[in-house]
Amino acid sequence: MTGQSILRFFRARALVTGGGSGIGEATCHLLAAEGAVVTVLDRDEDAAGRVAAAVGGRAVAADVGDSEAVHRAVTDSALAMGGLTIVVNNAGVGMAKTLVDYTDKEWSLLIGVNLTGTFNMIRAAAPVIGESGGGAIVNNTSLTGLRPTRGEGPYSAAKAGVINLTQTAALELAPLVRVNAVAPGMIDTPLTAPVIDNPRWRAAAESGTPMGRVGTAEEVARVIAFLASEDAAYITGQTIVVDGGSVLPSLQSDALLRAFTDGRGPT
């Protein structure tokens, strides 16, 4: 780590939701390593405490779907850190089943955490970031919010909502607060462990990715850190895809043209 990168978040005060594992944990480590004071928010109190201890920050246990808990967490964190300049909305939950098989409870959970949780945090944090002199919000959406896939209907709908919410917030909160999003593809995290840990499923995911592998939490964290930094001072309302190129092919035309280029075209 260079001296310049360590100073990138000098005096920054960051709050990372879902910071107890995966992309959130990697983001907490990176922001702290580059100079930020970090509050780790997670509904798992032990996980939040473990990461906070590792990065020299503070831990908060809260459910982002609870608007009152989010408001308290933002207020208390800003008071403890002397302000708030960065919020990373990373908390999320997912599951996979046929659209018509989702229950009301599952729909409410997926929308409540992924979309309402992001809204709750933006609403609570934006005024505090403004009072702190300005800063950035980065939302973690998903590639399936841009390109839906089978089995993740409610999750994809929620993440598509986060993309639109990101754009609306960017319009309304500028110029003091920039708001952007990342849209990860298949990333090696606890959320994707059922796929990553299955050799056949992982191979299928990797075969559909031009980079030939799944991504790491640290790779997404670096994009989040960029969007939260002054290096991205003129970027707002954008969703940056971090997917190893997996969204690039058209399933129909790519398969057809591959047949031609492989010499298997029609005769």
Token reading at 260: 């031609």
Q: Residue 264 has what pLDDT? A: 56
Q: What is the pLDDT along the chain (267 residues), one digit of tens a residue?
A: 444 455 689 899 999 999 999 999 999 999 999 999 999 999 999 999 999 999 999 999 999 999 999 999 999 999 999 999 999 999 999 998 999 999 999 999 999 999 999 999 999 999 999 999 999 999 999 999 999 888 999 999 999 999 999 999 999 999 999 999 999 999 999 888 888 899 998 998 898 889 999 999 999 999 999 999 999 999 999 999 999 998 887 766 666 666 767 665 554
Return left, alpha or beta for 263; rule: phi > 0 is left, psi -120 to 50 is alpha, else beta: left
DSSP class per residue in 114-179: IIIHHHHHHHHHHHHHHHTT-EEEEEE--GGGTS--TT-HHHHHHHHHHHHHHHHHHHHHTTTEEE
Q: Residue 244 has what pLDDT? A: 93
Q: What is the pLDDT of residues 209-233, one digit of tens each?
A: 899 999 999 999 999 999 999 999 9
Token reading at 83: 């302000």
Q: What is the pLDDT of residues 62-76, one digit of tens each?
A: 999 999 999 999 999
Pairwise CA distance, residues 112 & 110, whole Å: 5
Q: Residue 251 has what pLDDT? A: 64
Pairwise CA distance, residues 142 & 169, whole Å: 18
Q: Residue 194 has what pLDDT? A: 86
pTM (2 d.p.): 0.91
DSSP class per residue in 89-123: E---------GGG--HHHHHHHHIIIIIHHHHHHH
Residue whose tokens read 């989040």: 224
Pairwise CA distance, residues 208 & 188, whole Å: 15
Residue type, 24: G
Cβ atoms of 13 and 84 closer than 8 Å: yes
Comparing CA positions, the residue from 188, 149, 139 lying closest to residue 157 is 149
Angle of the 217-228 helix axis to the 22-33 helix axis, nearest 10 = 50
Pairwise CA distance, residues 21 & 5, whole Å: 23
Q: Which helix (H) or strand (E) holds 239?
A: strand 239-242
Q: Residue 9 has what pLDDT? A: 92
102 belongs to the catalytic site: no
Residue of 155, 209, 240, 244 with catalytic role: 155
Other C-beta atoms lying within 10 Å of the C-beta of residue 164: 13
Q: Residue 2 has what pLDDT? A: 41
